[in-house]
Structure 1
């Protein structure tokens, strides 16, 4: 699988990976991240998962999750539906 880059305590995921997963262009990915339409969270593993991180990206009603190791190698990925939170922002 593809590798992401380590950036201090976090990671940098190539925009092309997100674009392909969400059916966007790389430019759309960057704009969606700037506007907050595409969000991310990085969670460090503990216990038996120490040395692994879970990177989750949400866009509208879909999510993409990568599990990566310390070097940024993608160990697994999954896509799944999530609740669209954009209506929550309008309240």
Structure 2
């Protein structure tokens, strides 16, 4: 398990550090808030069930990239991944939850 204080979970709100998200999406950290406000970066938050109760899967989408973070209730990163499709658009199937 990777210990990382870049994710804070408070009162049902999850905050991901722009530097971490920028690194995963291959953009500058200062671009993250601007792109999120303009809805160029979109996201999905899923709550774990069964063996994953207390965990969250956070997926972020930007252009042809998807970044995913799985975290525990304390904000510790359990897994992280990113997919970059290069010149191709991100397939619609990857924008859905549960994949």
TM-score (norm 1): 0.83
2:18 corresponds to: 15
CA–CA distance in 1 between the matches of 2:81 and 2:68? Answer: 5
**For the aligned residues, what is the CA RMSD?**
1.4
CA–CA distance in 1 between the matches of 2:13 and 2:58? Answer: 10
CA–CA distance in 2 between the matches of 1:22 and 1:83? Answer: 16
Question: SS at 1:75's partner residue?
Answer: strand
CA–CA distance in 2 between the matches of 1:79 and 1:23? Answer: 10
Structure 1 residue corresponding to 2:91, chosen from 59, 76, 83: 83
Deviant stretches of 4+, over 4 Å: none
Question: What displacement does 1:23 show?
Answer: 1.9
CA–CA distance in 2 between the matches of 1:83 and 1:15? Answer: 24
For structure 2, list consecutive stretches of 5 or more residues without a partner in the other structure. 85-89, 93-99
- Bigger helix fraction: 1
CA–CA distance in 2 between the matches of 1:7 and 1:27? Answer: 23
TM-score (norm 2): 0.77
1:88 corresponds to: none
- Between the two proteins, the alignment pairs up a number of residues equal to 84
CA–CA distance in 2 between the matches of 1:10 and 1:42? Answer: 11
CA–CA distance in 1 between the matches of 2:34 and 2:25? Answer: 13
